[in-house]
Structure 1
Amino acid sequence: MNFGEIARKRLHIMVIMAAAVSFLTAPVTGFAQETEAVEAVAADAAVEGAVVADAAPAFEHYGADMIVGQPVSANEDMLASMTFQPQHTANGDYALWMHDAILMPVITVISLFVLGLLLWVVARYRRSRNPVASKTSHNTLIEIIWTVIPVIILLVIAVPSITLLARQYQSPPEDALTIKANGYQWYWGYEYVDNGGFEVISNMLSDEDALSSGEPHQLAVDNRMVVPVGVPIRIQTFGKDVIHAFGVPSLWFKMDAVPGRINEKMLQIDEPGIYYGQCMELCGARHGYMPIAIEARPVAEYEAWVLSQGGTLPGAVAAVPAEPAAAPAPEAEVAVPAEEIAAADAAQAQS
């Protein structure tokens, strides 16, 4: 055996040993890295599960004992059933005051005054009492009186009317909670724009289901519009098919839902409870079966409801994604001494 064969055999043995070492160490390293990655993912999942469990507490809707805004039955109060529902917003209180303290007294006085004049004329100027009619055709004093007094009455009515109109269409603040009420044929959908964009579909309950839960039939729904108490809310209305109207009398709120156009108005409820309304625009065959039910809850309870629906809370810190496991370093090649390679080449050339 010459020197070239010896050199080649040594080279082959070194290459085989290097390959064996690489084969034995690579699975161990990969398995260790894979184990670390799995443990990291499991830890992240456990933390995320704990956060979700903590962030989505149990939520229960109000029962019939929390109904606040609804029509008054004539059996309960005949007079109350013939006027506006009790109001539960600042604008509603102002509007009810204007109706009761200004409009009704003015209307009553004018009606009685006109009725008195009519009866006086009938009794005083009938034919049997005045066979010869008066020729009077002009009276400056009377014309001044019947011009000035109506102007004063209109001014008295105009001041609170314009004030109420301005208050009703006051722009919501920038940080107001935005909820979009979508009118469909024939049900409502409530889209929570600032809470992840999820939508709650609301349909009327059957008479049996409503009565069994203690709620008024044709007003109770399966999914209410849940809102926070004491927070300015930007209500946006939109008609998905035809014109609807979102109206809740006890909150002094009414706004049309028009296809292709978004209307908005501010609403703020200061008392927890359930408030009922209806679609107030003739929208088709089942127009009378589009009730509205608003459930006003304290802010903490509202946030719990949002999380139970899979929504998000404004300003919540987003979860930081786990960093991917580092890629395994490339295997180092076994370096063969240059002298051995040269000697092997020289021996090969000689042979």
Structure 2
Amino acid sequence: MAHPLQLGFQDAASPVMEELLHFHDHALMIVFLISTLVLYIIVAMVSTKLTNKYLLDSQEIEIIWTILPAAILILIALPSLRILYMMDEVNNPHLTIKAMGHQWYWSYEYTDFEELGFDSYMIPTQDLTPGQFRLLEADHRMVIPVESPVRMLISAEDVLHSWAVPALGVKMDAVPGRLNQAAFSASHPGIFYGQCSEICGANHSFMPIVVEAVPLTHFESWSSLMLQDS
């Protein structure tokens, strides 16, 4: 598992996030090639004797610098649109969870169960155990089964919040009075950290998100224990 505070992207834990990482590399390579070409032209213009400084027009150059940028934009737009539609696609989710943002904690409701819900608060620094991350651990984790499509219904009770887990490729605003939808699927077991990504008040940075992906049998055992406790 990638360290949640590392520079750059975390390791992908969902198919959508893997596609986003590939698109990032694809777009970055195009930007690198364009920057290299522009730098070469600048160096050539500065260091070369300009024999055609009074040239007024060139049909071939105009065709090239019109078609080439259009082709580059298409190379960027097509994979971008593909990923956009993948992120909006929700096909037969195995589990639906409603996340409600409060000042300053999250509450989760598993809508496929009758009475399965809980509040998730940040663990104070003085209560952390060795190996836990400061400002990122929560007293109740959102548990999901591995390789199962999960639909998130996200809203807020008071102000704007944002439910974001970078490793899963999910970031959705929580708007009071509005129910937003997101979908993801964890590709392997693990614990994935996120935080509210909206400046929602003084304690904005103290409402972490912890998603724990476990095998289906473990999820069934966990849900049974939670229902018994409730």
1:205, CA displacement in angstroms? 1.2
Secondary structure in structure 2 of the residue aligned to 1:189: strand
Runs of 4+ that moved beyond 6 A: none
Cα distance between partner residues in 1 of 2:137 and 2:225: 21
Q: Which of 112, 120, 143 pairs up with 2:36?
A: 112
Cα distance between partner residues in 2 of 1:292 and 1:301: 20
String of CA shifts for 1:233-256, please: whole Å, max 9, x gaps.
111101111111111001111111
Instruction: Establish whether residue 123 from structure 1 lines up as the match of residue 47 from structure 2.
Output: yes
Letter in 2 for 1:149: L
1:94, CA displacement in angstroms? 1.4
Point out the structure with max Rg over C-alpha.
1
Contact 2:156 2:174 in 1 (8 A): yes
Q: How many residues align?
A: 229
Contact 2:115 2:227 in 1 (8 A): no
Q: Which of 239, 249, 259 pairs up with 2:176?
A: 259
Q: Which of 83, 86, 89 pairs up with 2:11?
A: 86
Structure 1 gap ranges (5+): 1-67, 74-80, 313-351
Q: After superposition, where does 1:234-245 map in structure 2 within 5 Å?
A: 234-245=151-162
* More helix per residue: 1
Contact 1:224 1:293 in 2 (8 A): yes
Name 1:96's counterpart in structure 2.
21
Q: After superposition, where does 1:66-81 map in structure 2 within 5 Å?
A: 68=1, 70-71=3-4, 73=6, 81=7
Secondary structure in structure 1 of the residue aligned to 2:211: strand
Name 2:104's counterpart in structure 1.
186
1:311, CA displacement in angstroms? 6.4
Name 1:219's counterpart in structure 2.
136
1:270, CA displacement in angstroms? 2.5
Distance 1:270 1:294, change over 3 A: same
Q: After superposition, where does 1:239-318 map in structure 2 within 5 Å?
A: 239-310=156-227
Q: CA RMSD in A?
A: 2.0
Name 2:65's counterpart in structure 1.
146
Secondary structure in structure 2 of the residue aligned to 1:107: helix
1:201, CA displacement in angstroms? 0.7
Letter in 2 for 1:110: I
Distance 1:195 1:213, change over 3 A: farther
Distance 1:276 1:248, change over 3 A: same
Cα distance between partner residues in 2 of 1:134 and 1:299: 71
1:185, CA displacement in angstroms? 0.8
Cα distance between partner residues in 2 of 1:302 and 1:160: 35
TM-score, normalized by length of structure 1? 0.62
* More strand per residue: 2
Distance 1:262 1:70, change over 3 A: farther
Q: After superposition, where does 1:44-55 map in structure 2 within 5 Å?
A: none
